[in-house]
Amino acid sequence: MPGRTDTTEPTTGAPVTSTDTATGEAEARRASSPMYRLTNVSKTYQQKNRTVTALTNVHLTIPQGQLVAVQGPTGGGKSTLLQMLGALDRPSAGSIHLGGDRDVAKLGDGALTDLRATEIGFVFQSFNLIPTLTALENVETAFAGSLANRSRTEVRGRAVAALREVGLGERMEHLPAELSGGQQQRVAIARALVKNPSVLLADEPTGALDESTRDEIMALIEKQWRERGLTVVIVTHDSWVAKRAERRLHIKQGQVCEV
Ligand code: ADP
Ligand code: MG
């Protein structure tokens, strides 16, 4: 299996005695401050005159730098969980601690927007690019809410670098309709990562792609995960994708369990 599991301690059950190795320090850091700590999280939605429970009493800790796959049946709560992790919405009950201190459930709208603008990158099955903007302009939209703090030159330079990093240096001036599905998803990944976030959340990122393009996109996500030390959560129906993760979760009727 690719990824950081290659560098973790052997699974002998013996306690880690050496903290002077890079591995030991990394492990200690991951253990001391998880990226996410969800305690008793529930989410309900009002649909006409009935209440739908999308998440029920979820307890979940995700260490920094982990690559997690989430599977489960349609309507099970996968996208809702991702929205909670992404501070797109607040839980109806419980707490979601991000990076040790902030409780997403208690933040106001402005603080949630700031959190998303700086810490969290999103990728979706349908790419969600703006059709009238070029690849470069689409990536620049990542800074839309915080443009006031940055110069045009900085925004352009970072967007160009992000597109080169995903292998689209030659396609920056193209519109989404002039790009293949795989290339559009690369633009979306560049848009998610140009902010230099701590977390990448992907909802069925390969769901609209053929097998060989799926493999390329997963290789790209894994490369970015490894090089940037990102925490990555991928919702997927594809067991091939899920098997590449360090950890697999299953959600059914709003309840999360380890696979
Ligand atoms: P999945 O992504 O696993 O298919 P979702 O998280 O989208 O599942 O949905 C879980 C449940 O919550 C479903 O019953 C769905 O209809 C409901 N739901 C999700 N989002 C909303 C919403 N914005 N308004 C009302 N109900 C919703
Ligand atoms: Mg969904």
pLDDT number for residue 21: 56
Q: Is the pLDDT of residue 26 over 80?
A: no
The residue with greater pLDDT, 67 or 149, is: 67
Average pLDDT over residues 45-61: 95
Alpha-helix residue ranges (DSSP H) falling in 45-165: 78-85, 109-119, 135-140, 152-165
pLDDT number for residue 135: 98
151-162 pLDDT tens trace: 889 999 999 999
94-152 pLDDT tens trace: 999 998 778 999 999 999 998 998 999 999 999 999 999 999 999 999 998 665 678 88
- Ligand 1 neighbourhood includes 83 CB (under 6 angstroms): no
- 3-state class of 126 per DSSP? coil
- Percent of the chain scored above 90 by pLDDT? 78
pLDDT bin (cut points 50, 70, 90) of residue 31 is low
Angle between helices 211-228 and 181-193 (to 10 degrees): 20
Give distance in angstroms: CA of 118 to centre of ligand 2: 24
Contact 258, 248 (CB under 8 A): yes
pLDDT bin (cut points 50, 70, 90) of residue 32 is low
User: Which of 15-29, 70-84, 218-232 bottoms out in mean pLDDT, i.e. has the lowest?
Assistant: 15-29
pLDDT number for residue 3: 40
Q: Is the pLDDT of residue 9 over 80?
A: no
Ligand nearest to the CA of 75: 1
What domains are defined for the chain?
Answer: 63-86+109-258 (3.40.50.300)
- Ligand 1 neighbourhood includes 133 CB (under 6 angstroms): no
Give distance in angstroms: CA of 80 to centre of ligand 1: 6
Phi, psi of 116 (to 5 degrees): -65, -35
What are the residues facing 207 on neighbouring strands? none
Cα 82 to chain center, whole Å? 8
Q: Is the pLDDT of residue 14 over 90?
A: no
- Ligand 1 atom showing the smallest separation from residue 82 Cα: 6
Give distance in angstroms: CA of 47 to centre of ligand 1: 10
pLDDT number for residue 188: 98
146 Cβ contact list (under 8 Å, min separation 6): 117, 118
pLDDT number for residue 91: 96
